[in-house]
Amino acid sequence: MGLTWGLENIWLVPILPLLGSIINGVFGRYLSKPVIGAVACGSTGLSFFVAVLAFAGLISQNPAYRVYENVLFTWIESGSFVAEAGIQLDPLSGIWLLIVTGVGFLIHIYSIGYMRHEDGYPRYFSYLNLFMFSMLLLVLGNNFLLMFIGWEGVGLCSYLLIGYYYDKDSAADAGKKAFIMNRVGDFGFLLAIMWIFTIFGSIDYTTVFTAANATLEYGGFAVTGITLLLFLGAVGKSAQVPLYTWLPDAMEGPTPVSALIHAATMVTAGVYMVCRCAVLFNLAPVSMVTVAMIGAFTAVFAATMGLYQNDIKRVLAYSTVSQLGYMFLACGVGAYVAAVFHVMTHAFFKACLFLGSGSVIHGMSGEQDMRQMGGLKDKMPVTHLTFLISTLAIAGIPLFAGFFSKDEILLSVFMGHTSGHFFFWFLATVAAALTAFYMFRLYYMTFAGELRAEDKHVRDHVHESPYVMTVPLLVLAFLAVIGGFFGFPIIKGAHALNNFMAPMFNTVGAPEHPHPSLMVELILMGLSVGVAVAGILTARHFYQTKPEAATAMANKEGLIHKIYVTMKNKYYIDELYDALFVNPAVRISRNFLWKIFDVKIIDGFVNALAAMVKEIGSTARLTQTGLIRNYALAMVAGCVFLIGFWLLAIGV
């Protein structure tokens, strides 16, 4: 088994989870829970194994041009339109491949423990495996259409898994919300693909990106339009302003789903797409600024909304939106490597945080309100340790993974060439401080102090989770510690990850890699660590040392109270969307489409047709006398008429 074995058999990577999904989906009801878990985890584990081999094969290739493309078969052929089912493995898809299969595998294992008491066990694992298949298709496809199919597939699985507890109205609604909001983005993505086809006559990555420089004018209308439409798709999938409101609601799904789909993998698909199309984005400076602007704004906006949430998972959801904003900000200033780096470290620590919160919820008998928690430090030592590590990582404390990636983004933004990059840097730094604050607020409210739960059953029942849940936590926490060293050293430019990825992104129009002086780097680094520590200390002051101070401050009438209420209510954005889009749509549907168009026009047309047929029938009925002689007479008359007509016609 040489180094190329993995590359040649890379088609196994997506196919294995698909098989697992089919087995559990079709035969799951006849299988016992351990078998279902083994099928799901086994298929994902094997997929991870093949992915690692394929990645090793990729690394062994020539560093200047590491691309492995394998066309499996021609999928659609219609006139000049050809879509192949092909696999493309390069540094970008390689990184995602490892994240998706690796983190996915850990979360599958965790799910065995977390979902143990739930109904619909085979359904859950079937969907989860189907998600793995779709996500791998998205990442590994060699053309835009395959990416789109995967894109829709993950959207579908997201919908199915958010609505996993379908007998709960809020879960079913959240699923629909996610699906419909993603439709808005997908519409842009699809238009962009069509536009690309009309310009290039192909949807193949290699063809399009090779021809891009010669075909598209730098900053021209076409490339700007295409990239903005692509970014619209990314905004929907990656929950950026203004299409972010579905992600916090998506927390209605089981917690491992939130970890896998709504934190580590699916929501980063937008970042993947923007990085994949870096060639196009580099040609469109207007789109780049838009990406950076939306990213920076989302990073701060979502962070402020996360400040006063009391649901443990919602805090993490807003944090995810905020971190995704960071990634887009990095893309927008051309620091694609930093974006990918942050995707990777974020996958580790955010998956760990979500799984940790799942462990807490599991131990608290399903309680998600942090006001009921507290003091879990001693009762759940492993969860506490891993959670603390990940929290330090997301806050950007040195030596943890998040520090390296976040610092690289801040540095790239500071040194960027995009207009207004200093302002973006300022926003990102504010977001970093807010992140440190709300994450440690979460930490102190959950793990420090005294247990506040009132329910005696819950109080007595608090326990550490089983090994099947804590081992994935430990692995992810370990990765959250060492993950940053892939991007080490961050001082003086290039590092391992950069060397690996950079050949993909250095295309025409790409911003030059910043070469800041050591002094600037150290000052920026000190600053970002400083704001993080400040955030942590503030959180400690309000939620550990003097919990009553926070309440007093929030309840005191005045500006602070107003800001607090606004943030707590998420700026009333959901209410705004309801008023602007949902309610008008409901009203139009009810008052016009249903009561007028459907009832009067569609039903009216059908009923009129039926009434007409009935009328004709009841008239024609009279000719059926039942008297044979009448029929015979009609026949004779007909014959006489026809023959007479014929005789006249031939002129006898």
Residues that bind another protein in the complex, under the rule CB under 8 A: 620-629, 632-633, 636
Q: Which is nearer to another protein, 606 or 639 (CB)?
A: 639
Q: Which is nearer to another protein, 80 or 623 (CB)?
A: 623
Rounded to a whole number of angstroms, the minimum distance from the CB of residue 651 to another protein is 20
Burial of 176 (0-12, 13-18, 19+ CB in 10 A): middle
CB atoms closer than 10 angstroms to residue 650: 7
Residue 82 main-chain phi, psi, to 5 deg: -130, 130
Q: For residue 325, give the nearest of 356, 307, 309, 346 by alpha carbon.
A: 346
Q: Which is nearer to another protein, 32 or 623 (CB)?
A: 623
Rounded to a whole number of angstroms, the minimum distance from the CB of residue 647 to another protein is 14
Secondary structure letter of residue 512 according to DSSP: P
Q: Which is nearer to another protein, 79 or 626 (CB)?
A: 626
Tokens of residue 363, six digits: 């131990």
The DSSP H or E segment spanning 360 is: helix 336-363
How far is it, in rounded angstroms, from Cα 224 to Cα 441? 41
Q: Which is nearer to another protein, 63 or 638 (CB)?
A: 638
Alpha-carbon 133 to chain mean position: 14
CB atoms closer than 10 angstroms to residue 643: 10
How far is it, in rounded angstroms, from Cα 496 to Cα 486? 6
Tokens of residue 161, six digits: 């898994």
Rounded to a whole number of angstroms, the minimum distance from the CB of residue 644 to another protein is 14
What are the b/e assignments for 490-499, b being 16+ CB within 10 Å? beeeebebbe
How far is it, in rounded angstroms, from Cα 55 to Cα 95? 8
Rounded to a whole number of angstroms, the minimum distance from the CB of residue 134 to another protein is 60
Tokens of residue 85, six digits: 């089912």
Rounded to a whole number of angstroms, the minimum distance from the CB of residue 608 to another protein is 24
Rounded to a whole number of angstroms, the minimum distance from the CB of residue 607 to another protein is 24
Cβ–Cβ < 8 Å for 592, 585 = no
Q: Which is nearer to another protein, 553 or 643 (CB)?
A: 643
Rounded to a whole number of angstroms, the minimum distance from the CB of residue 622 to another protein is 7
Rounded to a whole number of angstroms, the minimum distance from the CB of residue 609 to another protein is 22
Q: Which is nearer to another protein, 628 or 650 (CB)?
A: 628
Q: Which is nearer to another protein, 606 or 643 (CB)?
A: 643
How far is it, in rounded angstroms, from Cα 53 to Cα 33? 30
How far is it, in rounded angstroms, from Cα 447 to Cα 387? 9
Cβ–Cβ < 8 Å for 441, 307 = yes
How far is it, in rounded angstroms, from Cα 631 to Cα 623? 9
Beta bridge mates, 81:
78
Q: Which is nearer to another protein, 586 or 639 (CB)?
A: 639
Tokens of residue 168, six digits: 């709960």
Q: Which is nearer to another protein, 558 or 626 (CB)?
A: 626
Tokens of residue 27, six digits: 């035969």
Q: Mapping DSSP to helix (H, G, I), strand (E, B) and coil, where does residue 229 land?
A: helix
Q: Which is nearer to another protein, 117 or 629 (CB)?
A: 629
Alpha-carbon 645 to chain mean position: 77
Rounded to a whole number of angstroms, the minimum distance from the CB of residue 22 to another protein is 56
Quote the crossing angle between the two packed helices 91-114 and 336-363, to the nearest 10°: 0
Rounded to a whole number of angstroms, the minimum distance from the CB of residue 646 to another protein is 16
Rounded to a whole number of angstroms, the minimum distance from the CB of residue 649 to another protein is 21
